[in-house]
Amino acid sequence: MNIQNVKQRYAIVGRSPLLDRALDTAMRVASTDLSVLIQGESGVGKEAFSRIIHDLSNRRHSSFIAVNCGAIPPGTINSELFGHEKGSFTGALSERKGYFETVNGGTIFLDEIGEMPLDTQAYLLRVLENGEFLRVGSSKVLNTDVRIVAATNVKLDEKIHHGKFREDLYYRLNTVPIHVPALFERPEDIYMLFRKFAGDFAEKYRTDSKTLTPEAKLVFEAYRWPGNVRELKNLVEQLSVLVEQSEIDLQTLLIQAPQLANRNLPSVANKQNAGESTYQEREILFKFLFEMKNDLHDMKSLIYDLVHTNDLTMPENQGLQQSPYSSESYYRPKNIDPKVDELYQNDAAYDNKPIIISPAKNFHSSEVVEEVLSLQEMEKDMIKKALKKYNNRRKEAADELGISERTLYRKIKEYDISE
């Protein structure tokens, strides 16, 4: 079975290379018994991938069950998964088989695995390692042959850092990772999904299939879609019911869904640490500016020495006799941040030194290229320099940058910096 057949069978819409790569990985790993960890934002369709893995495996004729670990209370999840003996706790009026016992030989999909309690994680690790488990209130060891497919919409490495997820369990589950791309990562699929859902709801509600004007389509595709496919489907159903005209223009679209006008700008995800993160990133920028200041001073000194060493002159009709960095022409902002103000200090040594340059025979004409000023690129460059300085030792590089090692690790991942 190829990718196109899988898409048709499971009603998966899209032509994104990221989506195809995730499907290809799921199809390749299906015939094995390896544990799979499916990662992706909420609403991207992770359960569909678990069904693909089960249906294409040798266990396809056995049971499949999806368990939402975040929806089961911590006090009962062990009983749900592993079963319990009669009288093992209040309300246990009879013995009960858990999912690992009833789905023996099949596949269990553990959604939101990051919400699983720590004690349950220890029991799950034992199942993964040797297939053994205990019912709640029992000392008899039972065996099961179950394939586990887990999914999460949170970063488990951060959970591990905070002591809320077992590192050994993470590596045991993450034998084969599958990243299901978010909708904003595959914008070429957004309008395809709109047309698909619009056709489905037109048939359901016996109305005309909706389309979008070019302007409305641009806004629709530029939206971040935090709820991913689930959010898009709900909006298309809303438009199919509430909008009368077949072609939806931009004004009508924004009346029904004003959130689409929100700009697609980055934001701080963790509001509790937003102030700290902003301060740390500002410190990196300051350090970069300080380094630029030193480079500028070195360059001015070099030019000054070259001019006087080589006795260069410039005819009055071909250039300025005054240094562009003199006190009369060097613009200095007022009322600025004290740290940034330091960038303009200690320039007196150069302010009153005229730079007189004349064209020489060996000089070549050059083109002035405007430097691209990007805060992200500045920050990325500073991180690279710090890592290079300390031979990729993160702790020392983080100390040099004035940020925490955790923040440095996040920035390395964000900017895809190779170490």
Q: Which one-letter DSSP state was computed for residue 54?
A: H
Helices 190-205 and 228-242 pack at an angle, to 10 degrees, of 40
In the predicted model, is pLDDT for residue 32 greater than 80?
Answer: yes
Look at residues 45, 54, 4 and name the one whose alpha carbon lies nearest to residue 26.
Answer: 54
Fold of 371-419: Arc Repressor Mutant, subunit A (1.10.10)
For the cut 60, the answer to whether the pLDDT of residue 108 exceeds it is: yes
Share of residues in the chain with pLDDT > 90 (%): 58
- Give me the chain's average pLDDT, please: 82
pLDDT class for 350, splitting at 50, 70, 90? Answer: very low
* Range name among 55-59, 81-85, 378-382 with the lowest pLDDT average: 378-382
3 state DSSP class of 66: strand
| Average pLDDT for 73-91 | 89
pLDDT in tens, 150-186: 999 999 999 999 999 999 999 999 999 999 999 999 9
**Phi-psi group of 346: left, alpha or beta (phi > 0 → left; psi -120 to 50 → alpha; rest → beta):** left
User: Which residues neighbour 65 within 8 Å (Cβ) at sequence distance 6 or greater?
Assistant: 99, 102, 103, 106, 107, 108, 109
Per-residue pLDDT of 230-279, as tens digits, reads 999 999 999 999 999 999 999 999 999 999 987 655 444 454 554 555 55
Q: What is the mean pLDDT of residues 137-154?
A: 94
Q: Give me the phi and psi of 226, to 5 degrees please.
A: -65, -25
How is the chain split into domains, by residue range? 3-181, 186-261, 283-361, 371-419
Query: pLDDT higher for 320 or 299?
Result: 299
Looking at 1.10.8.60, 1.10.1060.10, 3.40.50.300, 2.70.98.40, the CATH number of the domain 186-261 comes to 1.10.8.60
How sure is the predictor about 97, in pLDDT bands with cuts at 50, 70 and 90? very high
d(CA 321, CA 355): 7
Let me know: does 155 contact 37? Beta carbons within 8 Å: no
Query: In percent, how much of the chain has pLDDT > 70?
Result: 78
Tell me the three state secondary structure of residue 147: strand
Please report the pLDDT score of residue 270 as a whole number: 52
Compute φ and ψ for 323, nearest 5 degrees. -65, 135
396 pLDDT above the threshold of 50: yes
Fold of the CATH domain 3-181: Rossmann fold (3.40.50)
Tokens, residue 281: 């990133």
pLDDT at 223: 94
139: pLDDT strictly greater than 70: yes
Q: Choose among 256, 257, 252: nearest CA to 213.
A: 252
Task: Report d(CA 304, CA 278) in Å as an integer.
Answer: 39
Which of the two residues, 19 and 335, has the higher pLDDT score? 19
Helix (H) or strand (E) run with residue 96 in it = strand 96-97
Same fold, 186-261 and 371-419: no
Three-class secondary structure of residue 19 per DSSP:
helix
Which ranges in 164-261 belong to alpha helices (H)? 167-173, 190-205, 214-222, 228-242, 250-256
Q: What is the pLDDT of residue 342?
A: 52
Q: Which two tokens stand for residue 346?
A: 């200690």
**Per-residue model confidence (pLDDT) at position 318:** 43
Instruction: Report the SS3 class of residue 109.
Output: strand
- Residues linked to residue 211 through DSSP beta bridges, in sequence order: 247
Contact, 168 vs 206, CB < 8 A? no
Rounded Cα gap, residues 343 and 339, in angstroms:
8
In this predicted structure, what is the pLDDT of residue 362? 47
**pLDDT at position 345, please?**
53
Give pTM, 2 decimals.
0.62
